[in-house]
Chains A and B, each alone.
Chain A
C-alpha cells in the first residue's frame, strides 16, 4: 500500500504496518507474573520467621523444595511438549507454599517427592496452571501427610538459633499446640498455652505456619494490593473462632479456647494464602465467602472431633472440590435480570 509522501515535512502513518484487533486496545498493567511475585513477597515475613525459629535448615528445605518444584515443572513441560511455563512464577510459589507446610526435620528426599506430587500430580496432569482443581501445594502436603505420617508429624521445638541444623536425629520432639489440646482433652486445663508464643510463632509446627504475626502482615499486604479478597480470611478465621468459641463455652475442659485455635496450627497460612489461591477457589465474591465459611466449618469439625489434630489442608481441599458447584450456585443475576422477572409478572 502507498505511504503518504505528498508533504515532505509531515510524516504519515505507514498503512502497510497497521495491526487490526478487537477492542479494548488498552490493558491494565496486571499480569500473572506480577501477581505471583507479590504473593511470594507477602510470604517472605513468614519465611524469615520460619528461619529464625527453626534455623538455617528451614531455608535449605525451602530452597530445595522450590528448586525441585521448578525442575519438575520443566520436566513436565518437556514430556507434555508444552511451552516452558515456569516463568509465570507459579512453580516457585507452589514450592514455597509446600515447604512452609513441611516440618523442619523432613529428610531431603521428602521435599523432592512432595514437589513431584504437588507439581506433576497436583497441577501438570490436569494440563498446567489454571486447570488444576486442587491447590497443588496442599495436594503435595496431604499426600505426604497420609503416606509418611511419622515423618510429617515429627515436630521439634523452635531453637532461635539460625545456625542450628535441626534434623530428625539430633533433636527432641515436641507436639504442636494443637496436638496437645487435641490428644488430651481431659487434661487440657493443665496445659498452658501462651498466646504471645503463638503470635510470634514460638512453638513447634511446620516451617511457615507458626508465626501468626508474619502471616497476618503478608495477608494484609495482599489485601491492600487487592490481590486477595478480605472476605476470605475474615470469614474463614471468623467461622473457626465462632465454632470453637461455642464448643469451648459448652465444655471449657474439653475444648481449647477459640483464640488458641485461631492462633495455632496452619489456620493463618491457610486462610491468607491457600483459601485465597485464585485457580482453585470460586470466581465471585459471594462464592468466596461460601468457600471460606465452608473451610471454617470443616476445619473446626476436624479439629474438635476428628482424628487428626489439624484440618486446614483437608478443609481447603474438600472445598476446592466443591468450587465448581459453588460457582454455579452463586452465579449472579446480571444487572437487570431480576427486574425483568418482576415486569413479566406485571404484564
Chain B
C-alpha cells in the first residue's frame, strides 16, 4: 500500500515539474508554424532548398523564403500559405516529371544480361548497362526509390513510369537518373516525346522499335516552333506546346498524350 502511495506522489510531482518547465522555459512558437506545416507535403524532400519541411516553415516565418519555393505544394495550399503569411499569392505552374522513354523489354534490345546490383547507377558503371540504347530507361528503380511521394512505378517490363497525379515535381528523380532521361515538364502540356535518343535512325532502329525515328511528321502537323529537333529526336517546345492531336500522326507512337491531362 505504502509503495503505491510513494509511486503516485512521485508521478504527480514529475508531471508538475514537466508542466512547469514547459510553461516557463518552453520555446515560444509562432501559431502559424503548425498551420503552415500542415499545408506542406511533409515528405522532407529538400526541394525547397531547406533541410526539410519544418526548416522551410521557419525560414518562411522569418521572411527568408517565399511560400513558392516548395515544389510539392498544390496551388490551393500555396494560396492558403500565402494568406497565412500575408504575402501576395504567386501564380505558379504545376510541374510533373516524365520519363522520356517507352522502351520496355518488349521493344528495346538488350545487348547483354545485367547481373549486378539492382540499381541504375550501378548498371551504368558496368558496360553502360544491359540495354543497347544508351538513352533508354534501365528500369532498375533508382528513381522510384528516391521518390518521396511514391509516384514512380517500375512496370513488369522494367520501365519507369511517373504517375502525374502523385508527382509533386520535387526534381529528385531528375537528379538521380544516371541516363538523364527524366524531365520536369508543365503538367498542362498536352503531349510528350517519350524518347531521349538523338542518335541516328540507323543506330536507333537497331536497338529499339519504340524510338523516335526523326520523320518530322509531327513538326509538319504542328505550328512553327512548337516542335524542334535535336539530331533525330523531336523535342516539344514546352513554352509553346503543340496540340494533343499531334500524337495521332506519329507513326511509332513515341509522341504520347500527357497522362496528367488524361487523368483530368
Question: Direct contact between A and B in the complex (CB less than 8 angstroms)?
Answer: yes
CB of A250 closer than 8 Å to a CB of B: no
Rounded to whole Å, the gap between the CB of B223 and the closest CB of chain A is 43
Contact with A along B100-117 (1 / 0, CB 8 A): 000000000001111111
CB of A21 closer than 8 Å to a CB of B: yes
The interface stretch among B53-61, B123-131, B149-157 is B123-131
Complex-state Cα separation, A44 to B116, whole angstroms:
39
CB of B44 closer than 8 Å to a CB of A: no
Residues of B within 8 A of A18 (CB): 112-113
Complex-state Cα separation, A18 to B114, whole angstroms:
9
Rounded to whole Å, the gap between the CB of A30 and the closest CB of chain B is 20
Q: Flag if B122 contacts A20 (CB, 8 Å).
A: no
Complex-state Cα separation, A18 to B110, whole angstroms:
11
The secondary-structure label for the interface of chain B is loop
Complex-state Cα separation, A18 to B112, whole angstroms:
5
Q: Flag if A21 contacts B115 (CB, 8 Å).
A: yes
CB of A336 closer than 8 Å to a CB of B: no
Complex-state Cα separation, A21 to B113, whole angstroms:
8
Rounded to whole Å, the gap between the CB of B100 and the closest CB of chain A is 24
Q: Flag if B112 contacts A22 (CB, 8 Å).
A: no
CB of A1 closer than 8 Å to a CB of B: yes
Rounded to whole Å, the gap between the CB of B123 and the closest CB of chain A is 9
CB of A196 closer than 8 Å to a CB of B: no
Residues of B within 8 A of A19 (CB): 112-115
Rounded to whole Å, the gap between the CB of A232 and the closest CB of chain B is 32
Rounded to whole Å, the gap between the CB of B9 and the closest CB of chain A is 30
Enumerate chain B interface residues (CB-CB to A < 8 A): 111-117, 122, 125-127, 130
List, sorted by A's number, 24 A–B pairs whose CB atoms are closer than 8 Å: A1-B111, A18-B112, A18-B113, A19-B112, A19-B113, A19-B114, A19-B115, A20-B112, A20-B113, A20-B114, A20-B115, A20-B116, A20-B126, A20-B127, A20-B130, A21-B114, A21-B115, A21-B116, A21-B126, A22-B116, A22-B117, A22-B122, A22-B125, A22-B126
